[in-house]
Amino acid sequence: MDSYNILVTGGAGFIGSHLVERLLKEKNRVTILDNFSSGKIENIKSFLDNSYLTLIKEDLKKPAKLKHIIKDFEFVFHIAANPEVRVGETDPKVHFEENILTTFNLLEAIRKTSTSKTVVFTSTSTVYGEASQIPTPENYAPLIPISTYGASKLACEALLLSYAHTFNLRALVLRLANVIGPRSNHGVIVDFIKKISSNKKQLEILGDGTQEKSYIYINDCVDAIIHLTDILIKRTEKVDIYNIGSNDKITVKEIAEICAQEMDTPKITYNFNGGVDGGRGWKGDVKTMQLSIDKLIQTGWKPMYTSRQAVKLATKTIKKDL
């Protein structure tokens, strides 16, 4: 896509900053809207001087200028969210405020402009909960998330789709597998790298190590987002939903072994803490996750990296950033 006027909420975060960088390369005019609660100025410093980029500090929980800002954009990529699943166990209000409330405020601002908009929303594999069908397709039901994070994202999906049908906008919901790569500041790889850096003899692993999930490298993820948005532009559908992930999965123990190898600690010992609820890392941790990406592949796109390749590449890049 090129030559559009685009707003990216959470554009200074991990996924958002990579998406903004790609949109700018394609000669779009991009405005980042971020409150910098988890986003970092360092993530966007390499392209901050781009004349096609505008940066606005605004908190979607209590927006002051949003109604006036939003009217000028054809596309809104809504990526702003609290992405940490584990925080829901101790402070579920965070997911309500940072995910659901922010989405509602954004949609209300769009509604009040009375102009046609396209909203691309980054959702999550956790909306499926403990799916009995693996790989899990987009039409799997019922959706029973087991974390407040997954529940909040599912609520956001419902809000977006209802607004698309009721008001003058189109919606693309993208359910992402675990996205990894440079600029990431949370997740299992970041956790392992930090732990190995502080203790090269022993690595604590949350759960029993058999948790098995799909991982997608950030470049693949952004490429798929752009690809599917381009498709939406050409079609007439009011709403659509796609999974974005890889065609395989990898265990936590295998990730630990890759991190140990990349950190040059091949003799490190692993200390599995046993976890909760049958070996999960924490309450709300889905034990097995692999999204079906057949619908995405049928559009002519496929990931460049497998989960294992993505983990290895991400470990190489993340360790340089930490």
pLDDT beneath 50, residues of the chain:
none
Give 76's contacts (C-beta < 8 A, 6+ positions apart).
6, 7, 8, 9, 70, 106, 110, 117, 118, 119, 120
**What is the model's pTM?**
0.95
Intervals of CATH 3.90.25.10 along the chain: 181-213+247-289+305-321
Architecture of the structural domain at 5-179+216-244: 3-Layer(aba) Sandwich (3.40)
How far the first Cα of the chain sits from its last, in Å, is 33
- For 166, the enclosing helix (H) or strand (E) is helix 148-166
Question: Annotated catalytic residue: which of 128, 140, 149, 242?
Answer: 149
Q: Residue 263, by phi and psi: left (phi above 0), alpha (psi -120 to 50) or beta?
A: alpha
| Separation between Cα atoms, residue 258 and residue 199, nearest integer Å | 16
Question: pLDDT of 28-53, one tens digit each?
Answer: 999 999 999 889 999 999 999 999 99
- Residue-level pLDDT at 88: 59
Intervals of CATH 3.40.50.720 along the chain: 5-179+216-244
CATH superfamily of 181-213+247-289+305-321: UDP-galactose 4-epimerase, domain 1 (3.90.25.10)
149 is catalytic: yes
Residue 105 · residue 69 · CB < 8 Å: no
| Separation between Cα atoms, residue 319 and residue 217, nearest integer Å | 15
- Residue-level pLDDT at 274: 86
Listed residue (114, 84, 81, 65) closest to 8, CA to CA: 81
- Residue-level pLDDT at 282: 87
Instruction: Name the strands in the sheet holding 212-213, side by side, starting at the edge strand that comes first in the sequence.
Output: 250-251, 212-213, 288-289
Listed residue (3, 67, 71, 60) closest to 37, CA to CA: 60
